[in-house]
């Protein structure tokens, strides 16, 4: 795939994408609070023997939190939604990559939107084989989309991954922290995209889309970790176990990754989609393990109805 081996192509339509401002240098403008991401270069992020660390504990922070500015003014949130919003705020996963680099995956904060827009716009332009002159236009559309999708929290979330190289034993200077990738996850009908690509997934089922990895950081397993982090988050946020995603038929690398992760083809675009100048896509599905006992019980009736409607589509 042109944009990235891990991109879910066509998940955002062209009219959904958006403008990119100049990418902030992470060394001069850290996009994270000190309680959320990597510590000062002189300290250790976590023990070198640790390959995975998941934490959802509550911390205070001087930077804006998801609860302080998560949704447009005037939108009512129930207590369960507030609890889910707090969970999203504190969700973070650390990985040590085989190369020795460190990876942090967590929910995108408002001040990190511009750099996420930049990454997505460049990825979509590459995927659609558009000239670089179109990146600014795509950036404008992508930002409009991300601003709108942010209002769907806690029923949907955008995850971002930060990458850095590990410090040496003497605590020497660390390389700049980079935004390495992003992925979007919706958990139910309230977080579903209004205009999803075809074949249409059930609206009330969890859905993963718009995954991309920075070009210079591909082939390090970052896409795989974004996918697994999405599944981890879905397991905590939804009682529905069937997860869906799209993959273009021409994208063999992402298809192989999804297949390895347990996804199988649920439905495929008909040939008529070519008349709309779109690439044919697979809708892929995976059954997650049973939900943890603490997950809030939700009725699956609406999900079953949506799934039945999907089966009836031509």
Catalytic residues: 258
- The residues near 68 (Cβ < 8 Å, ≥ 6 apart) are none
- Strand arrangement of the beta sheet that strand 178-186 belongs to: 52-55, 92-96, 102-107, 156-164, 178-186, 207-213, 242-248, 281-287, 264-268
What six digits make up the tokens of 215? 């070009």
For 52-128, where are the E strands, in sequence order? Answer: 52-55, 92-96, 102-107
Cβ count within 10 A of residue 132: 9
Residues 6+ positions from 42 with CB-CB distance below 8 Å: 171
Q: In angstroms, rounded to a whole number, what is the distance separating the alpha carbons of residues 180 and 224?
A: 12
Which DSSP letter does residue 257 get?
A: H
Joined tokens for residue 260:
């390895």
Give the residue from 217, 271, 254 showing the smallest Cα distance to 2. 254
């Amino acid at each position: 795939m042109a944009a990235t081996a891990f991109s879910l192509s066509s998940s955002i339509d062209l009219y959904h994408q958006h403008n990119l401002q100049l990418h902030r240098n992470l060394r001069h403008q850290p996009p994270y609070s000190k309680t959320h991401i990597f510590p000062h270069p002189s300290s250790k992020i976590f023990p070198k023997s640790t390959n995975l660390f998941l934490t959802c504990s509550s911390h205070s922070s001087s930077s804006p939190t998801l609860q302080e500015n998560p949704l447009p003014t005037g939108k009512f949130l129930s207590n369960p939604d507030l609890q889910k919003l707090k969970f999203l705020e504190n969700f973070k996963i650390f990985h040590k990559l085989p190369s020795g680099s460190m990876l942090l995956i967590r929910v995108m904060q408002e001040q990190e939107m511009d750099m996420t827009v930049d990454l997505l716009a460049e990825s979509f332009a590459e995927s659609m084989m558009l000239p670089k002159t179109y990146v600014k236009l795509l950036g404008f559309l992508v930002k409009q989309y991300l601003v709108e999708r942010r209002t769907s929290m806690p029923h949907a979330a955008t995850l971002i991954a930060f990458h850095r190289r590990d410090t040496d034993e003497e605590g020497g200077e660390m390389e700049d922290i980079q935004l390495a990738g992003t992925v979007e996850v919706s958990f139910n009908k309230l977080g579903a995209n209004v205009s999803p690509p075809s074949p249409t997934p059930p609206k009330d089922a969890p859905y993963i889309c718009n995954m991309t990895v920075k070009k210079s950081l591909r082939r390090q397993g970052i896409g795989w970790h974004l996918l697994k982090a999405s599944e981890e988050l879905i397991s905590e946020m939804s009682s529905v176990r069937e997860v869906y995603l799209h993959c273009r038929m021409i994208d063999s690398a992402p298809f192989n990754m999804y297949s390895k992760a347990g996804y199988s083809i649920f439905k495929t675009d008909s040939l008529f989609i070519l008349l709309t100048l779109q690439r044919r896509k697979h809708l892929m599905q995976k059954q997650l393990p049973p939900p943890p006992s603490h997950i809030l019980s939700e009725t699956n009736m609406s999900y079953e109805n949506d799934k039945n409607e999907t089966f009836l589509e031509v």
